[in-house]
Amino acid sequence: MDDCALPKTRHSISVFFPLYNDAPSVGVMVARAISVLEQSTDDWEIILVEDCSPDNVGELADRLAKTDPRIRVIHHKTNRGYGGALRSGFAAARKDLIFYTDGDAQYDPRELSLLLPHIETADVVNGYKISRGDRMIRKVLGRIYHVTVKILFGLPLRDVDCDFRLFRREVFDCIELESDSGVICAEMMTKVIGAGFRVVQVPVHHYPRLAGESQFFKLNRVFQLACGVAKQWVKLILFEGKYAGRARRRRLAMRPPR
């Protein structure tokens, strides 16, 4: 896609990518992120979260970091799972806005330009896939997961597992994430919406993987995913009122007086 010419935002931006078996795509993702960040803000950083990957993506990430001081790498000594990688990225981000997407190039980080205008009136901008760039079995399983999680957690989202999201950093002053698996997306958006944050949804493109295959729906991962969904449902739905009330009070306490 062509780079979008945008007026620069007044916000600083942290971009991060969780990396696992993403050696074929990490260079492309960083180059695309830089292209949109240079047009969007004068203050940015890129964080590469290497989750003890068995390929050489960690080495490639270190090489990229040497080309620009605004690129940082976090190496996990043990594999912490997708949720663990996201938690590391959110914790490391230093800027006003935090954007993340997957490191496998199924999303194009240049489409961050589609999200940025909406952050002026929202706390979170959540992408949703226009059309899924996966094999049919992956599309079917993904749809089943989306509908199940949407119903269980009562999420008013068009795409629960679209990992293309932009946040105001204050969101993470109010919510704390716990999941280490892909269930983190359901946990995160349940807590975001339960805390009363404003969410805007924006369509984004989704492309076939450059290499490899998703680990998300392998048999052992499906079992872990089901256990994680059940655990979070008990915590967030059975006790949602208690959590949401506490989070809202924290938000009100942080607001400056008018």
For 13-254, the fitting CATH number among 1.10.10.10, 3.90.550.10, 2.60.40.10, 3.40.190.10 is 3.90.550.10
The whole-number pLDDT of residue 216 equals 55
Q: Tell me if residue 122 falls in helix, strand or coil.
A: coil
The whole-number pLDDT of residue 258 equals 44
The whole-number pLDDT of residue 130 equals 94
Per-residue tokens: 219: 């048999």
- 8 Å CB contact between 16 and 48: yes
The three state secondary structure string of 47-92 is EEEECCCCCCHHHHHHHHHHHCCCEEEEECCCCCHHHHHHHHHHHH
CB atoms within 10 A of CB 38: 12
The whole-number pLDDT of residue 43 equals 97
The whole-number pLDDT of residue 2 equals 45
Q: pTM for this structure?
A: 0.87
Query: What is the distance between the alpha carbons of residues 168 and 235, in angstroms, rounded to a whole number?
Result: 25
For the chain, 258 residues long, the average pLDDT of each consecutive 10-residue run is 59 97 96 97 97 97 98 97 97 98 97 97 96 79 87 91 96 93 93 92 92 60 81 80 51 52
Query: What is the distance between the alpha carbons of residues 155 and 147, in angstroms, rounded to a whole number?
Result: 10
Query: What is the distance between the alpha carbons of residues 93 and 253, in angstroms, rounded to a whole number?
Result: 23
DSSP string, 189-200: HHHHHHTT--EE
Cβ-in-10-Å burial (0-12, 13-18, 19+) of 232 comes to buried
The whole-number pLDDT of residue 185 equals 94
Domain ranges in the chain are: 13-254
